[in-house]
Amino acid sequence: MEHIRTAFDAIASEYDAQRQHVIPELDMFYGIAVWAADWPGSRPAILDIGAGTGLLSALLLEKYPNASLTLLDISEEMLKVAKKRFAGKNNIRYITGDYSTMSLGGRYDLICSALSIHHLIHEDKQKLYQRIYDALNPGGVFVNADQATGETPVMERKYMQYWDEFVRNGPLTDDERIEILRRRTTLDRNAKLSVQLKWLFDSGFSDVDVVYRNRTFVVLTGRKG
């Protein structure tokens, strides 16, 4: 994971500004993830895996302002941006570490992640899903807003064409587009949606479902119960 840490340390300061121009339907994508992060109480214990600059965490705090929130990420530079975002809030803790191998601690009522787990090799993704299940309280919910490869080579090509066109038609510079493509080809390890759903079921999750999909971008959820 060292190459992941290095890559995201390098782009921490510009990450937020680019998101709207890199991820189609960004507001809906994140908004549905927050909607799926459903807990009956007002003070859930939340873990944001691969929290980065805190984009998802900020939305979760809007929904649950009294939550106890833990941000976990391998990039110290990304978490520095998150700390500035949440300056003055005392219900947040930050952990720098490699979540593919380290203990997740717990237990949590909600475990969420956005645009991070797809960087892991498939074996580590599957193991992580099991560890997430184990770290949840009974009835706890996992939400993963992430990327999935097409089920067939034909559909994967169509998804990539759609994504390329979206980025190409935006306001990013040529150098920024080249760098985004480079990161996509060197850092992304997308798994098929069908495979990821099976991993969730195999880990013990119930109420497993896909609550959003826009080609490559998906929001998956499951409950421990």
Q: Before 183, cis peptide (omega within 30)?
A: no
pLDDT tens, residue by residue, 89-103: 989 999 999 999 999
Q: How many CB atoms lie within 10 A of CB 102?
A: 12
Which CATH code for domain 2-223?
3.40.50.150
Q: Which residues pair with 220 in a beta bridge?
A: 144, 210
For tokens 């920024």, name the residue: 176
- Residues 66, 140: Cα–Cα separation, whole Å: 17
Count CA within 13 A, CB hemisphere, residue 20. Answer: 3
Summarize the confidence of residues 189-210 as an average pLDDT.
98
Domain boundaries, the chain: 2-223
- Residues 16, 77: Cα–Cα separation, whole Å: 13
pLDDT tens, residue by residue, 37-63: 999 988 999 999 999 999 999 999 999
User: Which of the two residues, 12 and 186, has the higher pLDDT score?
Assistant: 186
Question: Helices 55-63 and 26-36: crossing angle, nearest 10°?
Answer: 50
